[in-house]
Copies of this chain bind each other. A is one copy, B any other.
Amino acid sequence: MKTNPGRFFEDYRLGELIRHAVPRTVSGGERALYHALYPARGALYSSDEFARACGLAAAPIDDLAAFHLVFGKTVPDISLNAVANLGYAEGRWLKPVWPGDTLAAESTVIGLRENSNGTSGVVWVRTRGLNQRGEAVLEYVRWVMVRKRHADAPVPVSVVPDLASAVAAADLVLPEGLDFSRYDFALAGEPHRWGDYAPGERIDHVDGVTIEEAEHMIATRLWQNTAKVHFDATQQPDGRRLIYGGHVISLARALSFNGLANAQMIVALNAGVHANPCFAGDTVRAWSEVLDRAETAAPGVGAIRLRLVAVKDGAASFALRGENGKYAPEVLLDLDYWALMPT
């Protein structure tokens, strides 16, 4: 058979390096589409002039666009037979991605554990995105539950990687030359500085977007993510296509502009959970909580650690988990990341 059936749990080997297919060159086209698909207004990604005033050569491709591009390449090898996308950790953006760059991706299997039911297992991979010079532009760990092809297939000894609960502030990598000392708050859209945000503070980002089938499919294809569940209505009993979790991440991040306009660059992904599925017709809103702050070595640049929560339909009541400790049914996403802000 010439088509790709995807890997099953027993096909992964600890330490194995998987080179993912289909490198991708990005241009102003991907940037324009990112702005058309999400209410993204971060000035650093919208304006070459603003980026230059911050010490960069031009506006990079949005951090999350780079993430989705790399993630999309891993889907045929990692999650085609995935039952669930369980989590992210130790994500770091290492270099900006510029129009003209070509991204490729590779993953190392760093953990394997069969589930007790014997029909599936959890696979941990550390994925790296590489540019045309072979430089890593981002890396992250992801773990997914993958079906076994045969319930009686032999499985390897369990190895569960020891992952950091968050990227340490000292390990954040800042783009070369980044300098917020002449940052234009009026052009950026809000006056709030790094020092204006206190750990524990929560922000309701107010705005909401009702999702359409065409939009999430256009977005997901843009990243060459081919998972059937996002595109084929006949795969679901109720004909509703599951929305790519990354679409919700980008939507929530873009909505968070309203209150966090100066949280310009994402530099680390500490953790992330797609708490409940999202479908067309859902209206997505977002709220954030300030988790931590740290200084950086770059002029005028502070790091802020944020929890970003996407919810559907309901008002932003800052609900996260129910009394049973489980995510509330309206919570779509619980994301923990570091961003860079002017001090």
What chain B residues lie within 8 Å of A16 (beta carbons)? none
A interface majority secondary structure: mixed
What chain B residues lie within 8 Å of A25 (beta carbons)? 46-49, 58-59
A47 and B21: CB pair below 8 A?
no
- Within 8 Å by CB of A208, from B2, B50, B205, B232, lies B232
A228 (CB) vs chain B CBs: closest residue = B207
| A170 touches B (CB below 8 Å) | no
How many Å from the CB of A32 to the closest CB on chain B? 3
| A188 touches B (CB below 8 Å) | yes
- Within 8 Å by CB of A30, from B32, B99, B214, B228, lies B32
What chain B residues lie within 8 Å of A100 (beta carbons)? 48
What chain B residues lie within 8 Å of A48 (beta carbons)? 25, 100, 102, 132
B187 and A210: CB pair below 8 A?
no
A215 (CB) vs chain B CBs: closest residue = B214
Q: How far is the CA of A258 from the CA of B226 in the complex (A)?
A: 10
Please choose the segment from A37-45, A138-146, A172-180 that sits at the chain B interface, where 4 or more of its residues have CB less than 8 A away: A37-45
Q: How far is the CA of A100 from the CA of B47 in the complex (A)?
A: 10
| A22 touches B (CB below 8 Å) | yes
| A192 touches B (CB below 8 Å) | yes
B2 and A192: CB pair below 8 A?
yes
A23 and B38: CB pair below 8 A?
no
How many Å from the CB of A193 to the closest CB on chain B? 11
B41 and A226: CB pair below 8 A?
yes
- Chain A 1-46 interface residues, beta-carbon cutoff 8 Å to B: 2-4, 19, 21-33, 35-41, 43, 46
Q: How far is the CA of A259 from the CA of B4 in the complex (A)?
A: 7
B28 and A50: CB pair below 8 A?
no
| A224 touches B (CB below 8 Å) | yes
- Within 8 Å by CB of A19, from B3, B28, B186, B231, lies B186
- Within 8 Å by CB of A27, from B29, B104, B203, B204, lies B29
A102 and B210: CB pair below 8 A?
no
28 A/B residue pairs, CB under 8 Å, sorted by A? A3-B205, A3-B259, A21-B43, A21-B186, A22-B187, A22-B188, A23-B46, A23-B49, A25-B46, A25-B59, A27-B28, A29-B31, A30-B32, A32-B32, A33-B33, A39-B221, A39-B224, A47-B102, A48-B132, A49-B102, A49-B132, A207-B226, A207-B231, A208-B231, A209-B231, A210-B231, A210-B232, A212-B214
Residues of A within 8 A of B (CB): 2-4, 19, 21-33, 35-41, 43, 46-50, 58-59, 76, 99-100, 102, 104, 132, 186-190, 192, 196, 203-210, 212-215, 217-219, 221-222, 224, 226, 228, 231-235, 241, 258-261, 283, 313
Given A76-B189, A207-B226, A234-B313, 18 other A-B residues pairs in contact with their CB atoms under 8 A: A2-B203, A4-B258, A22-B46, A22-B188, A24-B35, A25-B49, A25-B59, A27-B31, A30-B32, A32-B32, A35-B224, A36-B221, A39-B226, A41-B224, A104-B187, A210-B232, A212-B212, A215-B218
